[in-house]
Amino acid sequence: MQGRSDVSVSQVSEASSISPNLQTTKHLIVSRADGCWLIDRQGERYFDCSAGSGAVNLGHQHPQVVAAITRQAAQLVHTGWNLQSDIRTEAVQRLGAFSPYDNCGVLLTVTGAEGVEAGIKVARAYTGRKFLIAFEHSYHGKTAGSLAVTWRESFRQFIADSGTTIFTPFPLLHLEDESYGTEACLKELERVVEMLESAGEPPAAIVIEPIQGSEGVLPADPGFLRDVIKLGKRVGCLTVYDEIYTGFGRCGFPFYGSREGLTPDLMVVGKALGNGLPISAVLGPTQIMEALPPGHHTSTFSGNPLSCAAACAVLEVTQKEETWRLADWAGVQIREGLLGLSQDYAFISKPRGEGLMLAFDLLDSSGNPSPRLAEQFAEEVLRQKIIVRYGGFHGSAVKITPPLLMSVSELEFLMEGLRRAAQAIANNALR
Ligand SMILES: Cc1ncc(COP(=O)(O)O)c(C=O)c1O
């Protein structure tokens, strides 16, 4: 193809179009960003209540992150995974020190989905087993599995095919339905483990999001998480926390796995680690991490210097400002506000979640989840210059996951906008 240096940006964008697979907001084209705000071509500012899909805990364009990647860009942008770099060594050391593990092995990856796949490989290599237990309503990524079409048998031995995954119910505490309560879910998990053991195929890993994010912000009871870890230890399988959403302070503590009694065998982290730069990782005790033979999980950009520079800055700011405390504080204020909304408007459910990983459902007049109202609510919220994500397994959950570094006036702007949107829905219903 010829170079197109003679063509202006607008001409190029008319000639090509983004795949409809990437459903984008139709009317909003972002040109710049600043902290909690996304700014369009006309200079209109929108509060980003999704924090870029949970990836910018420190807010967009955080000055320390921007300075770190700018400095790094002038020095070294790329090495390839098989060469060490100063910044990669620093990122590994900082990340290991921030993790809950004393001797932490750090396997750097690029995306969340890739990190999850690498974590599964580590668990399979360590246990010599292949079956996995995952949970209903889980979300761990969308890659189709490149190993399925990769030839070398030693790479393929860790393939993550769906035939070796058993799904078991995740507690749905907001439903107040005993069959999805903590006890019932634990019993079912035990039954699945026993079934696998008696079939001579004990599980390699139990993979779990401590709070399920994508399917509607569904928190498990800490007691459930503790019992999952205990059960895993009893049967010699690894518990893997997917902390891609919950990590780096979002839920009011550095990681879920840094809470007393809740440290899993492995953790996968991503999203906020790079505050907008692509980087993820598998973390765990070195004696487990070393089970994966060298070269069995690599990708061209793992340990990319720019992403590592961003991660170093993120870790420094996160530790210095103890951002999890801010998330905890702001989460309490927002939760109270949302509780107020649920009392004033029957179509808004009680909030759920922890820290700044919160959600509520939009309900129809019979109290059932309403995807249509959730969509309307998100549109009304956008009119208030706030971007929220909605969806979940019922399609009715509105997710509140703003940046953790938020001022009091920004918090008030958010709550005022949500209230106005709720009032607009109530007014529409009366018309
Ligand atoms: C818990 C969890 N795991 C994995 C992923 C996949 O991450 P990525 O989109 O970076 O592949 C996500 C993304 O939303 C997630 O929330």
Q: What confidence tens digit (pLDDT) does each residue in 28-66 have? A: 899 999 999 999 999 999 999 999 999 999 999 999 999
Residues 174/145, Cβ–Cβ less than 8 Å? no
User: Which pLDDT score, from 0 to 100, does residue 201 have?
Assistant: 96
- Residue 54 backbone class (left: φ over 0; alpha: ψ -120 to 50; beta: rest): left
Ligand 1 atom with the shortest distance to the CA of 116: 4
Quick check: 72 pLDDT over 70?
yes
- Which residue lies with its CA nearest to atom 13 of ligand 1? 141
- E-only strand ranges, 213-330: 218-219, 238-242, 266-269, 280-285
Helix axes 182-198, 222-235, angle to 10 degrees: 10
User: Which pLDDT score, from 0 to 100, does residue 135 have?
Assistant: 95
- From ligand 1's centre to the CA of 240, what distance in Å? 14
- Which residue lies with its CA nearest to atom 16 of ligand 1? 245
Ligand 1 touching residue 117 (CB < 6 A)? no
Residue 293 DSSP SS3: coil
- From ligand 1's centre to the CA of 142, what distance in Å? 8
Tell me the CA end-to-end span of the chain in Å, nearest whole number: 56
Mean of pLDDT values over 397-414: 97
User: Which pLDDT score, from 0 to 100, does residue 161 have?
Assistant: 76
- Which residue lies with its CA nearest to atom 4 of ligand 1? 140
Mean pLDDT of the chain: 93
Cβ partners under 8 Å of residue 412, min gap 6: none
| Bridge partners for 32 per DSSP | 39
**Cα 238 to Cα 60: distance, rounded to the nearest angstrom:** 35
Quick check: 1 pLDDT over 50?
no
- From ligand 1's centre to the CA of 112, what distance in Å? 5
pLDDT in tens, 174-215: 888 888 999 999 999 999 999 999 999 999 999 999 999 999
Quick check: 92 pLDDT over 80?
yes
Quick check: 318 pLDDT over 90?
yes
Q: Which two tokens stand for residue 292?
A: 């994966």
Residue 35 is given by DSSP the state B
User: Which pLDDT score, from 0 to 100, does residue 2 have?
Assistant: 44
User: Which pLDDT score, from 0 to 100, does residue 14 have?
Assistant: 57
- From ligand 1's centre to the CA of 267, what distance in Å? 13
Ligand 1 atom with the shortest distance to the CA of 278: 10
